[in-house]
A and B are shown apart, each in its own frame.
Chain A
Amino acid sequence: MSRFIKVQVAPALLLAGVLAFVGGAASAQTLTNIGRPATSKEIAAWDIDVRPDFKGLPKGSGTVSAGMVVWEGKCASCHGTFGESNEVFTPIIGGTTADDVRSGHVAALATNRQPQRTTLMKVATVSTLWDYINRAMPWIAPKSLTTEEVYAVLAYILNMAEVVPDDFTLSDQNIAEVQKRMPNRNGMSMAHGMWDVKGKPDVKSVACMKDCPATGLRSTLPEVSRNAHGNIALQNRPFGAVRGVDTGKPAATLAPAPALTAPAPVGTAQAVGPNAMTLAQQNACLGCHGLKDKLVGPGFAQIAAKYKGDASAGAALAAKIRNGGAGVWGPVPMPAQSQLKDAELQALAGWILNGAK
């Protein structure tokens, strides 16, 4: 590497209380007294990555059955009981076959039989799953799983995908064997020009300037999408060369241009009980509940509607938040929120029953 940072760094002399800079020849200086050695404990604490050759993989193991317990307690609420859910994230399981496990190519990727491409259809390297679960899962409490739990839950995922049998124990000793059964292990290519800045582009167009081949209108915005992003009139300045189209109305034909909407306040702040809203954010409630609509669990406004006029709902809801549970709104369990204090539970419950406004 020839890059050479030239800096002017000069020793400072303290003369009669005045800093005077001397020297100053343009020359690179060593970065004296900047940074310090990392300790081995610090490196161990942060260097958690696991590579495809399993460098970095800690020793340990976990069974499919232990993994099922982890899954149902910490994963199923977002990913579904069988890893098939498409409600919160794209599905993890599905679309792979025993033939794929043999060939290392997921056939459905070519046939497009599977409408939604799942994680197991795409991922070529089992290390990727171990590394990601360990560093970033569960969603609202990343890095909280033990090494044994990561092995176990990965064993369970691989079992659901029929890569390993029901009685399997995944460990650092046999994970390389599992790699040889990954359904899409041969599905990746690096034969392209988009890694190297000097790589060769795969598409070559030419810049015709005059009387170029005739073109045609191939696709237009569906009418249903016209107003799907809100009123575009409010997403452009109300002055200048153009306006935003009032997409609340149908497209004009030859009639006068659509009436322009006067500038209106955008993003008006909702009047929220600040404490309850803050609590909801800090405790990741909004990861699963929308203020209005269902995400994983019911929207807060939906809860408010259901218990409207029920005087005992406040205490019941506070208990529900603290203890978690399932059944009222569907089978997906809500984890217990035992970290919340009584006053916080009451504030949250009251706010939710008031429509989270």
Chain B
Amino acid sequence: MRDNCKSGRIVRAPENFVAPELAHDITKDGLSAERRGFLRRSFLAAGAALATGAAGRAAAQAVGEGDPAILALPQHSRTLGQAVAANPYGMPSKYETNLLRRESPGLTRVSQASVAFTPLQGLFGIITPSGLHFERHHQGWQDIDPSQHRLMINGLVKNPKVYTMDDLMRMPSVSRMHFIECGANTAMEWGNVAVPTVQYSHGMLSCSEFTGVPLSVLLEDCGWDKKNGKFVLAEGADGSSMTRTIDISRALDDVIVAWGMNGEMLRPENGYPLRLVVPGVQGVSWVKWLRRIEVGDQPWATKDEAVHYIDAMPDGSYRQYTSIQECKSVITTPSGGQQLLDKGFYNITGLAWSGRGKIRRVDVSVDGGRNWRTARLEGPVLGKCFTRFNIDWVWDGGPCVLQSRAIDDTGYVQPKINELRAVRGTRSIYHNNAIQSWKVAESGEVANVQVY
């Protein structure tokens, strides 16, 4: 790759009052008298900057006497606003209609066993809004009446027990912030570039504060068999009754039986009223609509740990019970499908996380991995949680390739895709934690690429 960004020609993006069709025509054919007249009228009305002259020429920011957004007092400054509790459950602004959970067309054929991706490209900080938490269901989602929900603990325990939500919510609770990532996140990129934006390449990923009772407290309460109990099985109450095996040492460590998410109850799509939280482990183990925990002395080899969520190796074997989400990061802005408005200053921002602990460092390259600078980590930096990173960047208008590389507190360095492939081949679906590359063209358009 190029060592440095060469300078290129920069254009200011047209403002929105120029209709896309007109802007396109101007780009193609230049300005006719008719278009000139139209633009002048638009300009007088809106008074903002716009592209003039031949295609490709930078436009001056014409302000004239001043910005009408300032000079003409807007309606909202001259009228009475709305009453409190007009929206008893607050919703995003009516202008925030673009950042939504979305499916990837063609990825799955049945929408009840599908994925809706989180729009990482426009989110800030480390908490994912609950309404934008990614969805992945195996047989559709349910909205379960909490008064009818039960949690059973059985198997190698002295006292098999049943708990209601009343019981569970009386227990000593903890609140902890953790990321959740589907094991298949970034699956489509094992071979070649396949999707346009970070929403689809990395959006099976969210981070929330979860509240619940540690599983260890429940296991203790039931008198689990400390001699023979080696594993637990978690089982959901939905149609799929999703099941996954969890090692007992992990179950006793930081696993939570959670009802709370970001200060309120879990959303139905995320397991209302009860789900398992298994920090650092792929999302499939975070069983939703949790109805049962069984203690046993062997793993269960359930469908989602014997047919799916197994890692295909080049020799034809499969790795079973791969669970940890290893250290990974991605630049969320600027990212694929985005358009830089002009050359000059930008804040490169992104997320880093590790299933083995805390993020120690994130480095960013703007020259396709030849040279790196260390980014600022925003606090708090927590174990098995998102860490937000930022770094200053002045784009000189030339083509660039942006990358981020995270290092966790075990010293593990996020690998390049070719380093992953050298060990695991290209047939795997799961656990792709490779460095992501975004190419910035001279036009300012950012695109998903693989660079190594």
Q: Which residues B233-282 have CB closer than 8 A to chain A?
A: 233, 235, 239-241, 243, 247, 250, 252-253, 280
A254 vs B11: C-alpha distance when bound (angstroms): 9
Tally of chain A residues near chain B (CB < 8 A): 120
Question: Within the assembled complex, what's the spacing in Å between the Cα atoms of A253 and B100?
Answer: 29
Q: Contact check, B121 vs A235: say whether CB atoms are below 8 A apart.
A: yes
Give 12 new A-B contacts, CB below 8 A, not counting A136-B139, A184-B318, A242-B338: A3-B252, A49-B235, A49-B294, A55-B298, A189-B317, A197-B280, A203-B415, A210-B372, A217-B1, A217-B401, A236-B98, A260-B339
Query: Is A311's beta carbon under 8 Å from chain B?
Result: no
- Would you list which residues of chain A between 271 and 316 have a CB under 8 Å from chain B? 286-287, 295
Considering the chains assembled together, what is the distance between the CA atoms of A46 and B139 in angstroms?
18
**Given A34-B167, A194-B323: A188 and B318 within 8 A (CB)?**
yes
Residue from B97, B121, B372 within 8 A of A265 (CB atoms): B97
Q: Does B196 contact A (CB under 8 A)?
A: yes
B11, chain A: closest CB distance, angstroms: 5
Cβ-based interface call for B7 (8 A): no
> Are the C-beta atoms of A128 and B414 separated by less than 8 Å?
no
Complex Cα–Cα for A245 and B443 (A): 11
**B341 contact set on A, CB distance < 8 A:** 241-243, 257
Contact of A51 among B197, B300, B370 (CB under 8 A): B300
Residues from 105 to 140 in B contacting A, C-beta threshold 8 Å: 105-106, 109-113, 119, 121-122, 138-139
Which residues in B have their C-beta under 8 angstroms from that of A254?
A: 8-9, 56, 442-443
Stretch among B41-49, B61-69, B73-81, B156-164 lining the A interface? B156-164
Q: Does A206 contact B (CB under 8 A)?
A: yes
Chain B 307-361 residues near chain A, CB threshold 8 A: 307, 310-324, 326, 333-334, 336-341, 346-347, 355-356, 361
Please indicate the chain B residues that have their CB under 8 angstroms from the CB of A16 in the complex. none
Q: A149 interface residue, CB < 8 Å from B?
A: no
Q: Contact between A207 and B240 (Cβ–Cβ < 8 Å)? A: no
Contact present for A219 and B337 (CB under 8 Å): no
Residues of B within 8 Å of A135, CB to CB, are 240-241, 243
| Interface-side segment among B32-40, B204-212, B214-222 | B214-222
Contact with B along A70-89 (1 / 0, CB 8 A): 00000000000000000111
Task: Determine whether A15 belongs to the interface, using a CB cutoff of 8 Å to chain B.
Answer: no
**Could you mark each residue 389-426 of chain B with 1 if its beta carbon is under 8 Å from any beta carbon of chain A, else 0?**
00000000000010001010000111110011011100
Q: Does B441 lie at the interface of the complex (its beta carbon under 8 Å from any beta carbon of A)? A: yes
Is A23's CB within 8 Å of the partner chain B?
Answer: no
Where the two chains meet, the residues of A that have a C-beta atom closer than 8 Å to any C-beta of B are 1, 3, 5, 7, 31, 34-38, 42-43, 46-49, 51-53, 55, 87-89, 105-112, 117, 119, 122-125, 127-128, 131-132, 135-136, 139, 142-143, 184, 187-199, 201-212, 214-222, 225-226, 228-230, 232, 234-238, 240-247, 249, 251-263, 265-267, 286-287, 295
- Interface contact tally, CB-CB below 8 A: 405
CA distance A55 to B119 in the complex (A): 43
The docked-state distance in angstroms from the alpha carbon of A26 to that of B323 is: 37
Measured CB to CB, the nearest residue on chain B to A243 is B339
Q: Is B199 an interface residue (CB 8 A)?
A: yes
Instruction: Point out which of B155, B326, B336, B424 has the most chain A C-beta atoms below 10 A from its C-beta.
Output: B326
Q: For residue B12, which residues in chain A have a CB less than 8 angstroms away from its CB?
A: 257
Q: Shortest Cβ distance from A199 into chain B, in angstroms? A: 7
Q: Is B296 in contact with chain A by the CB < 8 A criterion?
A: yes
With A123-B306, A217-B449: A189-B320 Cβ-Cβ less than 8 Å = yes
Shortest distance between the CB of A144 and any CB in chain B (Å): 10
Query: Which residues of B have CB within 8 Å of A128?
Result: 301-303, 306-307
Task: Judge whether B16 is part of the interface by a CB distance below 8 angstroms.
Answer: yes
The distance in angstroms between the C-alpha atoms of A241 and B442, with both chains bound, is 17
Known A49-B235, A229-B197, A252-B445: A131·B162 in contact at CB below 8 Å: no
Nearest chain B residue, comparing its CB with the CB of A201: B412
B324 touches A195 (CB 8 A): yes
Question: Which residues of chain B are within 8 angstroms of A253 by Cβ–Cβ distance?
Answer: 442-443
CA distance A164 to B320 in the complex (A): 26
Are the CB atoms of B371 and A210 closer together than 8 Å? Answer: yes
Smallest CB gap from B200: residue in A: A229
Q: Would you call B192 an interface residue if the criterion is a C-beta within 8 Å of the partner chain's C-beta atoms?
A: yes
The number of chain B residues with a CB under 8 A from chain A is 153
| Chain A residue with Cβ nearest B303 | A132
B202 contacts partner chain A, Cβ-Cβ < 8 Å: no
20 contacts between A and B (CB under 8 A): A131-B243, A142-B239, A143-B239, A189-B317, A189-B320, A199-B324, A203-B423, A205-B413, A218-B449, A219-B450, A225-B194, A232-B337, A241-B333, A241-B341, A242-B338, A242-B446, A251-B443, A256-B14, A259-B21, A287-B110
**Chain B 357-385 residues near chain A, CB threshold 8 A:** 361, 363, 368-372
A46 to nearest B CB, angstroms?
Answer: 5
CB-based contact B233/A220 at 8 Å? no
Does the CB pair A107–B307 fall under 8 Å?
no
Inter-chain contact B95/A263, CB cutoff 8 Å: yes
- Contact of A187 (CB < 8 Å), options: B170, B318, B407: B318
Report which of A88, A245, A259 forms a contact with B338, defined as CB distance below 8 A. Answer: A245
Residue in A3, A38, A111 with the greatest tally of chain B CB atoms within 10 Å = A38
Chain B residues with CB under 8 A of A287: 110, 112
Contact partner, B363, options A49, A184, A209, Cβ 8 Å = A209
Cβ of B287 within 8 Å of any chain A Cβ, yes or no, is: no
Cα distance, A193 to B423, chains bound together (Å): 13
**If the complex has contacts A31-B171, A235-B121, A257-B14, are A242 and B334 also in contact, measured as CB distance less than 8 A?**
yes
Q: Which residues of A contact B5 (CB under 8 A)?
A: none
Which residues in B have their C-beta under 8 angstroms from that of A243?
Answer: 13, 338-339, 341
Check if B451 is an interface residue, CB within 8 A of chain A.
Answer: yes
Q: A128-B301, A256-B55 are in contact. Are A209 and B372 (CB under 8 A)?
A: yes
Given contacts A232-B197, A235-B99, contact A49 B243 (CB under 8 A): yes
The answer to whether B324 touches A214, judged by C-beta atoms less than 8 angstroms apart, is no
Cβ-based interface call for B60 (8 A): no
| Given known A244-B98, A263-B98, contact A232–B196 (CB-CB < 8 A) | yes
Name the residue among A31, A127, A263 with the largest chain B CB count within 10 angstroms.
A31
Known: A1-B216, A47-B294, A131-B302. A142 touches B241 (CB 8 A): yes
* A244-B337 in contact (CB<8A): yes
Chain B residues 156-191 with CB under 8 Å of chain A are 159-163, 167, 170-172
Query: B342's closest neighbor in chain A, by CB?
Result: A257
Known contacts A215-B368, A221-B447; A266/B97 CB under 8 A? yes
